[in-house]
Homo-oligomer: A and B are copies of this chain.
Amino acid sequence: MDYPQPLVTVDAVLLTLRDGCLQVALHRRPAEPFRDRLALPGGVVHVDQDASVEAAILRVLLDKTGFRPRYIEQLGVFSGPDRDPRSWSVSIAFVALVPEAALTEATEGIFHFHSVDALPALAFDHGTIVAAAVQRLRNKTRYSTLPTQLLPQRFTLSQLQATYEAIVGHPLNKAAFRRKIEEEGVVVATDAYTQGGAHRPAQLYEARPVELFDRTIA
């Protein structure tokens, strides 16, 4: 090409619920720039290997952290001359909601978890990227199926409501919540019910299925 091109990277905001609050999985950068600083897992697109930026983020996550998401979506593009000391750069950021247990597939000890509301200083503009992911998530919990990604395959409506409440950070009215969930078609009822326990059996639900990369959910 006639023009010098930006450096193109992909970065992932992996969000999970730990200890009842929304946390992000960070790793400590092993190399410059920002060596030893906490950062989002990410890397440079390799045009000789990657079929797309989606393929790039899956490769980078697997190589650097051992983690393979079940679902991940584009968050947005962060760009400019000053965000990376190496070059004018573009970060194509992705966001995924991951059950805490699924992160055990990752390389042991690779992730450092921090509450999204109390982040340390991160490498690059990764603090801004995390904030954008959290804002998207909190906006989307009004109508999206995204929070169901944090639950086991089958769950009760009480579990679903508790998950939404942990994300938005305040209690929700039970009747209004159930009406909304039904109107938006977020979940699908199964024929199964909870077994045992002190309470009467509760009906179990499943998330409506999504593709690994779903552009249209935004």
Interface residues of A (CB under 8 A from B): 1, 3-8, 44-48, 51-54, 74, 76-77, 79-81, 86-88, 90, 92, 132, 135-136, 139, 142-143, 215-216, 218
Contacts and interface: CB of A to CB of B under 8 A. Distances in A.
A5 B6 contact: yes
Nearest to A82: B51
A182 B79 CA distance: 36
Contacts of A44: 1, 3
A80 B90 CA distance: 16
Contacts of A86: 1
Contacts of A90: 8, 45, 53, 90, 92
A90 B86 CA distance: 20
B5 A139 contact: no
Contacts of A142: 143
B88 A47 contact: yes
A77 to B, nearest CB: 5
A143 B139 CA distance: 11
A52 B74 contact: no
A47 B77 contact: no
A5 B81 CA distance: 16
A48 to B, nearest CB: 8
Contacts of A216: 132, 135-136, 139
